[in-house]
Amino acid sequence: MNRVKQTMQSLYWLVRRELWEHKALWIAPAVTGGLLLVATVWGFIAMVSNPEAAAIFNEQAVPQLQQSGTADLAHGFTRAGMALLYMVMLVVLFFYCLDSLYGERRDRSILFWRSLPVSDTMTVLSKVLVALLVAPLIIAAVVVALEVLDLMTAGPIVAFGTALTYGEYFQPLAVLSAITGALADMWLLGLWFLPYFGWLFLISAWARRAAFLWALMPPLGVGLAEYLMFRTTGFFRLIGEHLALPFRGMSEQQFGFRVDSSGVLTQAGAAGPDLTGLSGLAEPGFWIGLSVGVVFLATAVAIRRYRGETA
Amino acid sequence: MTAVIKANGLKKRYGRTEALAGIDMDIQPGSIVGLIGPNGAGKTSALKAILGLTRFSGELEVMGQDPRVARHQLMRDVCFIADVAVLPRWLKVGQALDFVAGVHPRFNRERADAFLARTEIRLDSKVGQLSKGMVTQLHLALVMAIDAKLLVLDEPTLGLDILYRKAFYDTLLNDYFDGDRTILVTTHQVEEIEKILTHVMFLKAGRIILDEAMDDLPERYREVLVKPDQVEAARALNPLHERELLGRHLFLFEGQAKETLAQLGEIHHPGIADLFVAKMGTGRATAGEVQS
């Protein structure tokens, strides 16, 4: 078998391995999505079973919806739902990254994984791919399943109980465009957040114990030391601004205003549908963060190379 | 033939302690080598160096490659079992097979399946649900299905009951070893592997103090149950070790002619455990360890 094919095949199985071990990666978004669906269906049932509420909906909401287009609404709801799932996923990913190179040393399974012809670079790469590429795909898959279930449950309830027709409720193309758009945004956000992911992987590879504390204490310590010595908060502001940077485009494009660095609200131009937009790539902060993230990851690989099991 | 493992002045330090004080090794293909030493003698350090799991100084070549540079390429030809229970508890048996089949170009799935079919291990069990002995069987099944040239075993049967231990070595010898492959094994249970070894090495405080082919041992080392009136004569011959057994004296000699020793008493071939005790020369603590 040629080398490229074997490498790709190994990478595929390494990613599968991650999903076997870290079931929270798909259980957490699936459960959150399920709750969203249940809440939606429950809300619609409550509305159609109450004649007054249904009447108000029919009189006030339906004409407006029919006018502005239910497609936009479906698009917006899908984007909002995916944003929520992404928040949940970020929490899962925090613990995933922190455990990824630490857990295998704690349970000594690193001795098994490293007895196989897989390089440390490949192993770390597979875990980064899971965090950056696969996790958003899981969210997208969950949302596709939710949309199908939604069209089978909430759709008929609305169609039978209100003046809105099923045809108006049925907006798969708008939902699909929202899903692909959100997917691209989540992938891009992953690259924005690479320095944070990289830091967690680095600590995960390095810490002999208490990886959680090691991940949080140094940044907190740096910020606190700066404050105690200079009474300034430059480090925290730097992190905060970098974290918020990708969303600046969102407020600008989604809501038509932007907040500049001095905190002044200014009106901006036309509102677009993009969450972050590729325009963020013009920011130097993006590229600096990306380089820092890559350095962290390279260090994590180098550490795993000679780190045995913990204590 | 080119050596499978060739070490020259291999050294390893952990801070101030010297785990390996410059060892030499020359392990040829087709041999089954036992690396024996008390705890802390440097066995695991030596194996880790060979497997590219740790830094070291000195020269070391495994299958002609430097394990520091080429660990993952090396793992195509080298398998290792680092004592029991390094398979993660969350892994299912079927997943373990799928994964190794996916990443290892020399893995033969049918062979592993056939081996597992002879055990009570079910494919949908998790490793955490298996007994220690079964986990070892599973690991052995994975390793035996890999067409590797060198197999490294670090205390592979530690903590297993005698039935599993015996089955482990029987399987290894009957189903795996084919005369071309090389096996390097460390263990405390010397008696169990004594009969399968072709070579034996003793490691003491980071140094190799014995490196012999098993076939040469009887010629070189003899144990004599000395008659009471010959004890002084025996001591004059510079024995390696002396111990009392039920009021009689047992002496172990290195390199003494058979004829000379025959006059002192009954000659035996010492077991590896006896030889180990004599060579270590530190009394009972070490002897207890070796037989544990």
Which of B103, B139, B143 is the best substitution to test chain A (most A C-beta atoms within 10 A)?
Answer: B103
The pLDDT score that the predictor gives to residue A248 is 66
For B109, residues 6+ apart whose C-beta sits below 8 A from its C-beta are B97, B101, B145
CA distances from A75 to A179, A308, B43, B157 (A): 8, 49, 64, 60
A chain contacts of residue B136, beta-carbon cutoff 8 Å: none
Q: How buried is B215 (Cβ within 10 angstroms: 0-12 exposed, 13-18 middle, 19+ buried)?
A: exposed
> What is the domain class of B5-205 according to CATH?
alpha beta
Q: Are strands B78-82 and B150-154 parallel, antiparallel or unpaired?
A: parallel
Rounded to the nearest 5°, which phi and psi values hold at A165?
-85, 165
The CA dihedral of B237, B241, B243, B249, to the nearest 10 degrees, is -20
Handedness of CA B160, B164, B170, B175 (dihedral sign): negative
Widest Cα–Cα separation across chain B: 69
ipTM score: 0.84
Strands (E), A157-216: none
Partner residue opposite A117 with nearest CB, options B55, B85, B103: B103
The pLDDT score that the predictor gives to residue A53 is 82
The pLDDT score that the predictor gives to residue A268 is 42
Residue closest to B42 by CA, chosen among B175, B283, B206, B160: B206
Q: Are B146 and B79 in contact (CB under 8 A)?
A: yes
Going residue by residue through chain B (292 aa), what tens digit of pLDDT does each one get? 588 999 999 988 887 888 888 899 999 998 999 999 888 788 888 988 898 888 888 999 999 888 888 888 888 899 988 876 689 999 999 999 999 999 999 999 999 998 899 888 999 999 999 988 889 889 988 988 998 889 999 888 887 788 888 888 888 888 788 878 899 998 877 888 888 889 999 988 888 888 888 888 888 888 888 877 777 878 877 788 888 777 788 888 888 777 887 778 888 888 888 888 888 875 443 333 443 3
pTM for the complete prediction? 0.84
Going residue by residue through chain A (311 aa), what tens digit of pLDDT does each one get? 678 888 999 999 999 999 999 999 999 999 999 999 999 899 888 888 888 888 888 887 787 777 767 888 888 888 888 889 999 999 999 999 999 999 898 888 988 998 899 999 999 999 999 999 999 999 999 999 999 998 888 888 888 877 788 878 888 888 888 899 889 888 988 998 999 999 999 999 998 888 888 988 898 999 999 999 998 888 888 888 888 777 765 655 554 444 455 555 444 443 344 445 566 677 788 888 899 999 999 999 999 887 765 54
> HEC profile for A231-269?
CCCHHHHHHHHHHHHHHHHHHHHHHCEEECCCCCEEECC
**Which residue(s) pair with B33 in the sheet?**
B184, B199
B chain contacts of residue A104, beta-carbon cutoff 8 Å: 88
Read off the tokens for B149.
């040239």
Q: Are B36 and B276 in contact (CB under 8 A)?
A: yes
Does the CB of A275 have a partner CB in chain B at under 8 Å? no
Contact check, Cβ <8 Å, A20/B90: yes
Order the strands of the B57-62 sheet from edge to edge.
B17-27, B5-14, B57-62
Helix (H) or strand (E) holding A288: helix A284-306
Helix (H) or strand (E) holding B9: strand B5-14
Widest Cα–Cα separation across chain A: 69
CA distances from B144 to B30, B89, B147 (A): 16, 21, 7
Helix (H) or strand (E) holding A17: helix A3-21
Residue ranges of the domains in chain B? 5-205, 216-291
CA B20/CA B202 separation, integer angstroms: 13
A-contacting residues of B 69-88, CB under 8 Å? Answer: 71-76, 79-82, 85-88
**Mind listing the pLDDT tens digit for each residue in A264-311?**
544 444 334 444 556 667 778 888 889 999 999 999 999 988 776 554
Does the CB of A165 have a partner CB in chain B at under 8 Å? no
> Which amino acid would we find at residue A240?
G
Query: What are the DSSP calls for B177-222, one per residue?
Result: --SSSEEEEE-S-HHHHHTT-SEEEEEETTEEEEEEEGGGHHHHEE
**Mind listing the pLDDT tens digit for each residue in B28-81?**
998 999 999 888 788 888 988 898 888 888 999 999 888 888 888 888 899 988
Does the CB of A20 have a partner CB in chain B at under 8 Å? yes
Q: Are B32 and B185 in contact (CB under 8 A)?
A: yes
Compute the count of residue pairs across chains A and B with CB atoms less than 8 Å apart: 77
Q: What angle in degrees, to the nearest 10, is found between the helix axes of A194-206 and A172-192?
A: 60
Handedness of CA A87, A93, A94, A95 (dihedral sign): positive
Does the CB of B283 have a partner CB in chain A at under 8 Å? no
Does the CB of A99 have a partner CB in chain B at under 8 Å? no
The pLDDT score that the predictor gives to residue B1 is 58
